[in-house]
Structure 1
């Protein structure tokens, strides 16, 4: 039931790493309103606002390997399906490109085929395209 995306992106690993580990990076492709933890154990907050609705998600930073990987565990989210799920962001060089892997794991099987899981799958498809488009065309689609 894991959500996995492996994308070859025409940019450097350093650029990709900054895009998933900093506020200014996340603002370009995922969330336009976030606070990103810099030390393991810290909590990142990612917010999405549409009209008068504001959604805030909180993630504990579990792993930070400079230049390579970040792992978060969801500790707070209005969507109960996300609680205790794990987000893995990693990058490595791939010739003239970078190999970006994103995984959203640790889903409870009871969510399989349910709207919260299916919406999340489609949402990540959008945001992976947003990340790639930002890197290659300068235009992301953050929310």
Structure 2
């Protein structure tokens, strides 16, 4: 198994970033415009990208610290993987975000494409949290 990992510093509070990755409004503004999401453990968030519908069950919510989803429906390679965001608040309203998309069975072309695309969406998250404007799909 292999994982996708990204680390970035966002000039924003952990609370602001947590809201961006747990609420429908936040997720729609940096990741997927077609989103149904609710910050409740066990809730299944739905993200639509063109013809691909991703269903992700919320397994962990630690306010301002950690969010984790289990992918239960998506493209074949995504099913059974997990996505997590770990937040570490720093001085001066800066937060370190550690993003992981774990459990890939192999390094495939889709894995490589997703690694690149996740980096782009991490920059969208950063922009949204710092300026109020992201670049969702």
TM-score bracket relative to the smaller structure: over 0.9
CA contact (8 A) 1:27 1:142 kept: yes
SS in 1 for 2:53: strand
1:93 to 74, 89, 99: 89
SS in 2 for 1:135: helix
Pairwise CA RMSD: 1.2
Q: Does 1:130 align with 2:131?
A: no
TM-score (norm 2): 0.92
- Structure 1 position 90, deviation (Å): 1.9
* Alpha-carbon distance between aligned partners in 2 of 1:19 and 1:135, rounded to the nearest angstrom: 7
CA contact (8 A) 1:37 1:61 kept: no
Between stretches 22-31 and 130-139, larger displacement belongs to 130-139
1:70 to 56, 67, 71: 67
- Structure 1 position 121, deviation (Å): 0.5
Runs of 4 or more consecutive aligned structure 1 residues displaced over 4 Å after TM superposition: none
Give unpaired runs (5+ residues) of structure 2.
none
CA contact (8 A) 2:5 2:100 kept: yes
CA contact (8 A) 1:13 1:67 kept: yes
CA contact (8 A) 2:24 2:38 kept: no
- Structure 1 position 135, deviation (Å): 2.1
Aligned residues: 135
Q: Where do residues 11-90 of structure 1 align in structure 2 (5 Å cutoff)?
A: 11-49=12-50, 54-77=51-74, 79-90=75-86
SS in 1 for 2:25: helix
Give unpaired runs (5+ residues) of structure 1.
none
- Structure 1 position 91, deviation (Å): 1.2
- Structure 1 position 138, deviation (Å): 3.1
TM-score (norm 1): 0.88
